[in-house]
């Protein structure tokens, strides 16, 4: 082979080798760059999560934040707007509905109790604005779910130690008894030492639904009825015991004062929480003992403020002559134009239907 050709072959081989050597590192570098970028992103995310977990605020600070996030409407106070059909009902009809729900709901089945809770939630969502009912229903549902899980797991968790003292069924000629026993399962689920039975499920459903019904129905009637109307309805129902010289006026007036004082308690706790959030206390540096002492001092301050407010209310009542009055008249704004007689009639018919249904079943 001539030397020129030999040199050309060497050049071609060198060029091919250089091309291979240059192309291969280029592909590897792209993959490495992508892997490095992805690893950097994952490391950044893990670092952010670790920083967020390490800088999690203490329990007291989180509780104060949740209290501040609660809407300005106190729980159980009257909401004037928007005016719904439930606002226009007579307070005596609403109190009759409340009494029927409290007395009849324990007699229903599990499905009826759950349906009643769903109906109460739907009526609350239709009647009240979302800024009022959503936080209240969320807290109540969380509490009811905690009660449900606690009763479901803890009612029949301890398994009794039983030893059969009777001979086998096949010995006595009763071969069908095992099949009959398997047709009804008392234990629904068994996981190790935990077991869920039909009795535990029934108890959990009844207790949780009854708790939800009592609290939600009471909150709903307080949201849609003024304290003066509540007192007037209670006075109407207590008229028969007036013949026994029962202090009806004192009872109704005490009810009005208690309902009015609820908003004062709520506002006092809210103001203290806002003041602490504005000062920006470092709860981590205080530690557990310092946080508990601060919480105790704040609780004492709130109690002192509420006692001073109640003393001011009592002085105002004494100055206006309520202590020496023989009869207390509750002055409420007249709302004759907003009375809905058709709504009252429909509510009474629905109440009679509900009572008849529960009595027949």
Q: Per-block average pLDDT, block size 10, for the chain (361 residues)? A: 46 45 48 65 61 55 62 68 84 90 85 90 89 84 89 70 61 58 61 75 89 90 86 85 80 80 75 72 71 78 80 78 61 57 87 86 70
pTM for the model stands at 0.66
pLDDT at 118: 92
Q: In this predicted structure, what is the pLDDT of residue 210?
A: 92
- Give the per-residue pLDDT at 196: 75
Q: How far is CA 249 from the centre of its chain?
A: 36
pLDDT score, position 173: 59
Q: What per-residue confidence (pLDDT) applies to 212?
A: 92
Query: Could you tell me which residues come within 8 angstroms of residue 344 by beta carbon, excluding any fewer than 6 positions away?
Result: 89, 90, 93
pLDDT at residue number 49: 55
The pLDDT assigned to 77 comes to 75
């Amino acid at each position: 082979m001539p030397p020129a050709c030999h040199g050309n072959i060497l050049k071609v081989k060198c060029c091919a080798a250089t091309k291979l050597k240059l192309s291969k590192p280029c592909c590897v570098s792209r993959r490495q760059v992508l892997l490095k970028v992805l690893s950097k992103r994952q490391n950044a995310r893990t670092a952010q999560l670790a920083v967020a977990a390490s800088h999690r605020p203490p329990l007291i600070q989180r509780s104060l934040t949740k209290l501040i996030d609660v809407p300005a409407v106190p729980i159980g106070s009257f909401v004037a707007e928007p005016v719904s059909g439930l606002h226009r009902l007579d307070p005596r009809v609403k109190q009759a509905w409340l009494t029927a729900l409290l007395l009849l709901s324990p007699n229903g089945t599990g499905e009826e109790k759950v349906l009643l809770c769903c109906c109460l939630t739907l009526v609350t969502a239709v009647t009240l604005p979302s800024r009022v009912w959503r936080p209240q229903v969320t807290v109540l549902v969380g509490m009811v779910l905690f009660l449900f899980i606690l009763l479901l797991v803890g009612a029949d968790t301890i398994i009794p130690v039983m030893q059969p003292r009777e001979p086998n069924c096949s010995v006595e000629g009763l071969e069908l008894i095992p099949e009959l026993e398997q047709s009804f399962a008392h234990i629904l689920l068994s996981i190790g030492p935990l077991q869920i039975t039909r009795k535990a499920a029934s108890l959990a459903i009844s207790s949780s639904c009854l708790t939800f019904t009592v609290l939600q129905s009471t909150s709903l009637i307080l949201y849609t009825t003024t304290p003066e109307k509540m007192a007037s309805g209670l006075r109407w129902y207590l008229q028969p015991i007036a013949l026994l010289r029962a202090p009806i006026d004192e009872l109704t007036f005490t009810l009005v004062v208690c309902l009015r004082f609820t908003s004062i308690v709520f506002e006092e706790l809210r103001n203290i929480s806002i003041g602490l959030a504005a000062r920006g206390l470092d709860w981590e540096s205080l530690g557990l003992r310092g946080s508990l002492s601060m919480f105790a001092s704040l609780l004492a301050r709130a109690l002192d403020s509420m006692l001073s407010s109640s003393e001011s209310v009592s002085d105002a009542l004494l100055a206006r002559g309520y202590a020496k009055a023989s009869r207390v008249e509750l002055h409420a704004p007249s709302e004759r134009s907003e009375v809905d007689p058709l709504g009252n009639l429909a509510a009474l018919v629905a109440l009679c239907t509900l009572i008849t249904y529960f009595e027949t079943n």
